[in-house]
Amino acid sequence: MNTIVNSEPLATRPGATETAAIARESQSPNFDRLARIYKWMEFVTFGPFLSRCREAFLSEVRSARRAVVLGDGDGRFTAELLHVNSQVRIDAVDASPAMLQALLRRVRKNAGRVSAHCADARDWQPANPPYDLVASHFFLDCLTTEEIRALAAKLRDAVSPPAVWIVSEFAVSSGRFGRFVARPLVWLLYRAFGLLTGLRVRSLPDHHGALRNAGFSLTRRQTWLCGLLVSEMWRCQGVDGEA
C-alpha cells in the first residue's frame, strides 16, 4: 500500500533554515477542508476548462520517466499522466495531507508508481533526481515571485536538460476583458481562497521571469476563456544554452 512521506521534522533543521521553515509553516494555507469538494468547486466555477488546461500537453510527455508534480490537489493530472504514460514514476508534493490522500485514492492501481510527499514545496528537497518532467497546475499562483524564483532554481538543479516543466495558471490579459473581467475575477478568487484556506498571496506572481531566470525557456502556450487560463510548456536549457 502506498504511503505518504512526511517532510523532515523541524527539530532537525539548523539555525536560519529552521527559523525560515517555521515561519513558512505558520503562514502556509490549509487546503484540507477543500479536498472532498475541490472537483465540484472547480466544475461549478469554470466547467471543464481547468481540466483542459492541465491536460493540454499530456501528449508531449509520454516519454517522461521521472516526474515531480507540485500541488496537484486531488490528483486529476497525476492520474491522467499515469494513464497515458505507463513507465513514468512520480514524486507528488503537497502540503495538504487530505489532498494527498485524495490523490492516492484517485490513482488507485497505479499508486505504486507514486511517492507522495507531504511537504511545503518551498522547503521540500527533490527526492529522486534527476527529473525529466515538472508539472505545476494552478499552484504557482499560491506563491510570491521570489518564492517561485527560489523553487525554480532548486528544481533546475534537480532536472536534466531538456526536461520539461508544464505550467497551468490564471492570467490577466491586456484589453477590456482583462481589465473588466479577468482582473476582478482573479481578485475575487484570491479573496475567496484567503478566507477558505488562509492563503496570504493576493496577486498573480511573475512566474515567467522566475522560470527564465532559472534557465527555463517557454516553448509552447495555449489559452482559454479569452486568456484567463493559460497552459505553458517550458524547457530546461543546457548549461551552454543548448536544449
| pLDDT tens per residue across span 84-128 | 999 999 999 999 999 999 999 999 999 999 999 999 999 999 999
Q: Is 146 inside any structural domain?
A: yes
At 3, the pLDDT band (50, 70, 90 cuts) reads low
Q: Is 23 inside any structural domain?
A: yes
* Residue 17 identity (one-letter amino acid): T
The stretch 41-49 carries a mean pLDDT of 93
At 11, the pLDDT band (50, 70, 90 cuts) reads very low
Q: Is 107 inside any structural domain?
A: yes
Query: Cell for 15?
Result: 539555525
The stretch 174-201 carries a mean pLDDT of 96
Q: Is 88 inside any structural domain?
A: yes
Amino acid 175: pLDDT = 92
> Which range, 12-16, 24-28, 159-163, has the best average confidence (pLDDT)?
159-163
Domain containing 19: what range?
15-236
Does the structure show a pLDDT above 50 at 67?
Answer: yes
Amino acid 60: pLDDT = 95
Q: Is 75 inside any structural domain?
A: yes
Number of domains within the chain: 1
* Residue 104 identity (one-letter amino acid): L
Four-CA torsion 64, 68, 69, 70, nearest 10 degrees: -150
The C-alpha atoms of residue 102 and residue 73 are separated, in whole angstroms, by 8
Pairwise pLDDT comparison (66 vs 241), residue with the higher score? 66
Least confident stretch, 13-17, 161-165, 191-195, 233-237: 13-17
Return mean pLDDT, the chain: 90
Pairwise pLDDT comparison (242 vs 229), residue with the higher score? 229
The stretch 73-85 carries a mean pLDDT of 97
Residue 165 sits in a domain whose CATH number is: 3.40.50.150
Query: pTM, whole model, 2 decimals?
Result: 0.88
Does the structure show a pLDDT above 60 at 14?
Answer: no
Does the structure show a pLDDT above 60 at 23?
Answer: no
At 6, the pLDDT band (50, 70, 90 cuts) reads confident
At 26, the pLDDT band (50, 70, 90 cuts) reads very low
| pLDDT tens per residue across span 140-170 | 999 999 999 999 999 999 999 999 999 999 9
Cβ neighbours of residue 81 closer than 8 Å, sequence gap 6 or more: 58, 61, 64, 67, 69, 88, 90, 135
Residue pair 123/21 in contact (Cβ under 8 Å)? The answer is yes
3-class DSSP assignment, residue 65: coil
Q: Is 81 inside any structural domain?
A: yes
Q: Is 186 inside any structural domain?
A: yes
3-class DSSP assignment, residue 220: strand
Q: Is 30 inside any structural domain?
A: yes
